[in-house]
Amino acid sequence: MNQVGVLKAGSGKITKQAFKSQLAQYVAQQPASKQAFHKWMKALEMASLAIIAGAFAVAMYVSINHTAVPGTTIAAAWFGFPVSVVPLMILVGLHTIVLRASVPSVVSGKPQKFVTGSKAVWSGWGLVATALAVGAFWGTLAWAVWSFDMALIGIYTRIIGTVLGVVIPAAIILGLISGLYKQFVRPR
């Protein structure tokens, strides 16, 4: 396949328009069944945005009408909101797996690298696995708050506390060390 696209200066990544052009060329070379699959998946991915909008609308509605609903409903609606992104993530992952090419992200405005073959398939499986983990984590938290399961809420409190108190500061420190190393030890 020929590489058509505009590279961003010094990044090796292509612009969004060039990415779409490469994907269109790639899909045009595929059998009719994969072309039809691509069209259906694009439509389903756009439709799944309605799920996200609906979940946001419900969370906003129960927040605005806070006097008419129990407090656990508001928390459960907002904790459940990240779960609404899961169908889109799974659809994009499956789209990537079956097409064997990276599919442009619906919500990302940053330039991406066009990837095909097994690397794209692994990327798709990674996205599906991430979607399932996100759905499980936030869905279980929303259910725990809704049902007022104090044992499960306690587990989540420890997990979130550990992430906020240990993992994030450690990531910041490692990022600073890495940045200093790149700047002073290995200057480009």
Q: What is the pLDDT along the chain (188 residues), one digit of tens a residue?
A: 444 444 444 445 566 677 778 788 888 888 888 888 888 998 999 999 999 999 999 999 999 988 888 878 888 899 889 999 999 999 999 998 998 888 765 445 555 677 788 888 998 999 999 999 999 988 898 888 888 888 988 988 888 888 888 888 998 999 999 888 888 877 65
Tokens (6 digits) for 120: 């794209």
Is residue 128 domain-resident? Answer: yes
Q: How many domains does the chain have?
A: 2
Cα 90 from Cα 133, distance rounded (Å): 11
Q: Which domain holds residue 159?
A: 150-188
Is residue 2 domain-resident? Answer: no
Cα 171 from Cα 62, distance rounded (Å): 35
CB 98 within 8 A of CB 34: yes
Q: 85 with 157, same domain?
A: no
Is residue 10 domain-resident? Answer: no
The pLDDT assigned to 5 comes to: 42
The pTM score is 0.72
The torsion angles phi and psi of 110, rounded to 5 degrees, stand at -85, 145
Q: 109 with 121, same domain?
A: yes
The torsion angles phi and psi of 23, rounded to 5 degrees, stand at -65, -40
Is residue 65 domain-resident? Answer: yes
